[in-house]
Amino acid sequence: MTPVRRADLVERIDAPFGLVVVEAVPGAGKRTLLTQWARQGQGRVFATGVQAVRTPAELLAHTVWAIQRAAERDGLPFPSALREPAAPADVTELVDVLTGMLHLLPWLRVVAFDELTEIRPGLVVEIFDRVRREHPSLRLVLATVDGTEHMAAARRRGIPVSLLRDEDVRLTAEETREYVRTAIPGTSDEAAARLWQASAGFGQLVVAAVREMPERVAAGDVEPADLVPMWRSWRIARRRPAAGSSFERAVARLCALPRFTVRQAREIVGTPQVDQVLERMERSSFITREARWDCGSDLFTWHGGLRRLLDEQARDTLTGRQVEARLERMLEVARATHDWPLALLALLELRRGEEAETLAVQRLWELLTCDDLDLAPALRLLRRDQLASSPTLRLLELVMGRRGVPLSSRDDALVPPVLLRWRREISSLEPRARLARLAPLAHQASSSGALDLADELLTRWLEIADDIGEHLLAHPDAEVVSAALIALQVLIQLDRYTEAHAAHRLARAILAADGRGDCDPSGGRQAELAKARALLAWLDGSPYRPSGSDPIDLVLPTSRRSFDIVVRATSRVLEALDAGDLDQARRLSAGALSQVSDPVRWPVLLLVHVLVLLMRGERAELEHLEGRYLGEEWRRRHESPGRRVRPIATLVRVLLDYVAGREISPDLEAAVRSARLLSDDTESPFGQFLVSLVATLRGESISVARLDWVGRGNVRVRDAALLLEALRAVKSGEDGLARVALRTLGLEPSGVAPLALAAGTPAEREEVIRLAAEVMPPSEVARLKLSRAYVGVSPDRWPSLELSEREHELLALIRDDRSNADIARELFVSVNTVKFHRTNLYRKLGARNRSDVLAAALRFGL
């Protein structure tokens, strides 16, 4: 076959087909190809990061964001009315919104998506077809591992379709040779050919080899095994177990399961060497191990999309009857181990709808509260007629598909009544059983957006726990401990931190009373309590200073659980701020926001990110954050009239209003000052801190003695409140009051970052530091000097920076990740001239590399 070059591929993508499917295994280079294609012409949009998109609202949000980036890149118009479109509730609403948008974007010709793995292929093609009826010139490009279903769906609808395969996308021998010669001058053709053979043309491996072992590439000394550590997915393709080996048979059996415990692996594999098999799979990066309290054992999950690839390879060698037998075995093991999500998944794949509905009715509690990423797609694959006759499966499909998405009017008519019916049915149970059932129900209510119901259920849960507390300690129960851990997480999501402490104390007391360890045989529940204690300690105002073993080390960085991500991020970010490392704090908070599936449900995570951006003076990023997260869903969850005021969420709003220079609204101020804010605890530290912050921003004075009393027991709040009062006094020229506040603060050294000083100008901060030197210990004065690194965001202290027209052009090209040679061709200058301007730009922005340049440009509003 004649090799296909990248230039030819771009032309094939632009051929007049309605749908182009780019089918290749992970890492073959399809994303790089589409990035290059998108940059080579106007009207091309490439949406990445859509692997986890599951709902119409999420698909629309990613599409709008990609279109906006393409418009900015090519200098094309993007109406401001499109920046925050209404969230569609279903496919019909999504089609209507997209159709209307395209009338305002006449320049848009083609949209490409990278791996829409969580949306049914037929549904993707259906959406495209319905939009295309109004806009016949629109074209779609889909990058995927397997495009068979996309192709079939397009042909059924009469859409012209083209297919680019794996071997087309990979680099040819000639392209590899050209790249190696450019990157490593003097490399022989034989050495380049050797690299091409070793990498099988995978662009990711070619680039990695040139970067990490240039001498060996130039010498032609590269073997396939040398490239294995550079790419985990490629390892599977190149180092598959020997055919017929016991290891291969074990992998072929296990890949039927999306995740599994040790016991399940033993049941499935059926050989005594299971532990060795799992160890080898983990060592070879097939799987990763995660300690889980909810399954009483370590849980193994597959890396990325490897299970799908392995499962497809295994199915190719099996007959239909053998595939069915494998699913039957999976169902048997799931039932034996009480893994109801896995059992339901097996029944759905076996197409036994009646049994699946029966299981869903019997085990609705466990299924509603599970976070099974493989179950949701299986439910979405059910036909409408199947769901019509299976109301419980329909409920599961609705709830799982809309987690973290605003409820539509249709959802409002279905979800809360079902939850209320279940609440009525459990009201007749004995108190211990009600505790076990109410917490998962509150979790589901919160996930579905029924927050008033979640509040009500948790209040009832806390009342029952208080009534029978002595009985629970006399008769420890693992199910009640699990319920307390679920209640604790939902209470944190709902900003009810004082009551979260109560749930934490209950779980800890039950485990302490369990002398035999029956409630926590694996230690997983203790680990969960340690994580929660770390987060609650920060919310209590304590500096993050772990002694002995650090509970945050129990939280795996790769964990997909939002609670784990939030716990780790809040603790580590505050640790970095206390140490004065703003860059590290920024990386941690931004990374956590990108990992959490629904940041709007975690105001505490948004709060620490806002604090970091405030310290760094990133006004543009703060405005973007407000537009992205504090929209309709935020207001519905945290700011609905008449609903309980959420202290952390309210603090986020106050800070962002301050950043934008907006007056604090009378309604918000009334809520802050009202007793409702303190309804959980009349000494709520964050509630009182809000009162002091609002007063400081308005220039009003608050009694220093009162502030000292309010902050007692909460180090950070006491520190911030007294610093705010000192800052307010300096602003109004009342140095005597400022000294009183600072002297009071110095009586109990805190060691935490002086975050509140970001509310002042550099001159005001210096005045506070000068006065502090008169009345505070030297160590505390040194701590306040950390604020000199804070930029803040008030207009009168915003740094100014002038760039030349040429530097502005250069900055735009650096943003697009262009090389010096590309920039020189674009600007019609020499490479040395580009280097000269680039050096000057880096010097002006105080940057060392491209990432620093982009961060500084954002910070200075460029």
* Res 694: pLDDT: 57
Domain final residue pick, 749, 773, 796: 796
Residue 547: is its pLDDT beyond 80? no
Q: Are strands 110-114 and 44-47 parallel, antiparallel or unpaired?
A: parallel
Residue 260: is its pLDDT beyond 50? yes
| Shared-domain flag, residues 627 and 746 | yes
* Res 703: pLDDT: 43
* Token digits of residue 402: 């809309």
* Rounded Cα distance, 521 and 291, in Å: 12
Q: Please give the average per-residue pLDDT across 374-399, as a whole number.
A: 71
Sorting pLDDT into bands at 50, 70 and 90, what band is 140? very high
* Rounded Cα distance, 708 and 23, in Å: 64
Query: Is 226 part of a structural domain of the chain?
Result: yes
Query: Is 46 part of a structural domain of the chain?
Result: yes
Cα 371 versus chain centre, distance: 15
| Shared-domain flag, residues 771 and 828 | no
Please name which of 57, 52, 640, 54 lies closest in space to residue 405, comparing C-alpha atoms: 57
| pLDDT mean across residues, the chain | 74
| Shared-domain flag, residues 619 and 768 | yes
User: Highest mean pLDDT: which of 86-95, 116-125, 324-333, 368-377?
Assistant: 324-333
Residue 43: is its pLDDT beyond 50? yes
Contact by Cβ (8 Å): 405, 57 = yes
Residue 669: is its pLDDT beyond 60? no
Q: What is the DSSP string of 24-90?
A: --TTSSHHHHHHHHHHTSTTEEEE-S-TT--SHHHHHHHHHHHHHHHHHHHT----GGGSSPPPPSS
| Shared-domain flag, residues 126 and 218 | no
* Rounded Cα distance, 563 and 569, in Å: 10
* Token digits of residue 731: 């602003």
Contact by Cβ (8 Å): 143, 22 = yes
* Rounded Cα distance, 822 and 824, in Å: 5
Q: What is the DSSP string of 778-801?
A: HHHHHHHGGGGG-----GGG----
Q: Are strands 259-261 and 297-302 parallel, antiparallel or unpaired?
A: antiparallel
* Rounded Cα distance, 606 and 590, in Å: 9
| Shared-domain flag, residues 147 and 226 | no
- Residue whose structure tokens are 């500084």: 856
The angle formed by the CA atoms of residues 323, 324 and 328, to the nearest 5 degrees, is 120
Number of domains in the chain: 4
* Res 557: pLDDT: 41
- Residue whose structure tokens are 């089609």: 95
Domain final residue pick, 146, 169, 192: 169
Other beta carbons less than 10 A from residue 108's beta carbon = 21
Query: Is 566 part of a structural domain of the chain?
Result: no
Domain final residue pick, 136, 169, 202: 169
Report helix angle 666-673 to 647-659, nearest 10.
Answer: 140
Q: Please give the average per-residue pLDDT across 347-353, as a whole number.
A: 87
Classify 751 in phi/psi space as left (phi over 0), alpha (psi -120 to 50) or beta. Answer: left
* Res 791: pLDDT: 61
Question: Which of the pair, 332 or 320, is modelled with greater confidence?
Answer: 332
Contact by Cβ (8 Å): 793, 859 = no
* Res 295: pLDDT: 47
| Shared-domain flag, residues 841 and 705 | no
Sorting pLDDT into bands at 50, 70 and 90, what band is 732? confident
Contact by Cβ (8 Å): 223, 216 = no
Question: Which of the pair, 464 or 515, is modelled with greater confidence?
Answer: 464
* Rounded Cα distance, 541 and 686, in Å: 9
State pLDDT tens for residues 275-315: 888 887 877 667 887 765 444 467 888 865 567 767 776 77
* Res 332: pLDDT: 92
How much of the chain, in percent, has pLDDT values that exceed 90? 2
The angle formed by the CA atoms of residues 220, 225 and 227, to the nearest 5 degrees, is 70
Here the CATH number for the domain that contains residue 11 is 3.40.50.300
Please name which of 37, 38, 66 lies closest in space to residue 50, comparing C-alpha atoms: 66
| Shared-domain flag, residues 728 and 849 | no
* Rounded Cα distance, 640 and 453, in Å: 14
* Res 707: pLDDT: 44
* Res 538: pLDDT: 61
| Shared-domain flag, residues 159 and 189 | no
Please name which of 450, 543, 528 lies closest in space to residue 488, comparing C-alpha atoms: 528
Other beta carbons less than 10 A from residue 157's beta carbon = 17
**Residue 188: which domain range?**
173-238
Query: Is 652 part of a structural domain of the chain?
Result: yes
* Rounded Cα distance, 762 and 742, in Å: 18
Q: Please give the average per-residue pLDDT across 119-128, as a whole number.
A: 84
How much of the chain, in percent, has pLDDT values that exceed 70? 70
Classify 243 in phi/psi space as left (phi over 0), alpha (psi -120 to 50) or beta. Answer: beta
* Rounded Cα distance, 681 and 832, in Å: 65
Q: Please give the average per-residue pLDDT across 382-392, as a whole number.
A: 71
| Shared-domain flag, residues 164 and 177 | no
3-state secondary structure of 140: strand
Residue 502: is its pLDDT beyond 70? yes
* Res 111: pLDDT: 92
* Res 765: pLDDT: 83
- Which amino acid makes up residue 576? A
Residue 56: is its pLDDT beyond 50? yes
Query: Is 573 part of a structural domain of the chain?
Result: no
* Res 328: pLDDT: 92
| Shared-domain flag, residues 13 and 62 | yes
Residue 406: is its pLDDT beyond 70? no
CA-CA distances (angstroms) from residue 641 to 636, 637, 638, 677?
9, 11, 9, 13
Sorting pLDDT into bands at 50, 70 and 90, what band is 715? low
Question: Which of the pair, 548 or 537, is modelled with greater confidence?
Answer: 537
Sorting pLDDT into bands at 50, 70 and 90, what band is 392? confident
User: Highest mean pLDDT: which of 171-175, 670-674, 783-787?
Assistant: 783-787
Contact by Cβ (8 Å): 191, 219 = yes
* Res 407: pLDDT: 45
Q: Please give the average per-residue pLDDT across 441-448, as a whole number.
A: 76
| Shared-domain flag, residues 156 and 178 | no
State pLDDT tens for residues 607-624: 888 888 877 777 777 777
CA-CA distances (angstroms) from residue 278 to 232, 258, 287, 498, 822?
17, 15, 8, 43, 48
* Rounded Cα distance, 393 and 356, in Å: 8
Residue 581: is its pLDDT beyond 50? yes
Residue 48: is its pLDDT beyond 60? yes
Contact by Cβ (8 Å): 221, 292 = no
Contact by Cβ (8 Å): 580, 789 = yes
* Rounded Cα distance, 471 and 228, in Å: 57
Sorting pLDDT into bands at 50, 70 and 90, what band is 454? confident
* Res 68: pLDDT: 85
Query: Is 67 part of a structural domain of the chain?
Result: yes
Q: Are strands 110-114 and 139-144 parallel, antiparallel or unpaired?
A: parallel
| Shared-domain flag, residues 843 and 737 | no
Please name which of 339, 272, 329, 336 lies closest in space to residue 299, comparing C-alpha atoms: 339
Residue 475: is its pLDDT beyond 60? yes
Query: Is 615 part of a structural domain of the chain?
Result: yes
Query: Is 739 part of a structural domain of the chain?
Result: yes
* Res 496: pLDDT: 79
DSSP conformational letter for 760: S
Q: What pairs with residue 162 in β-bridges?
A: 20
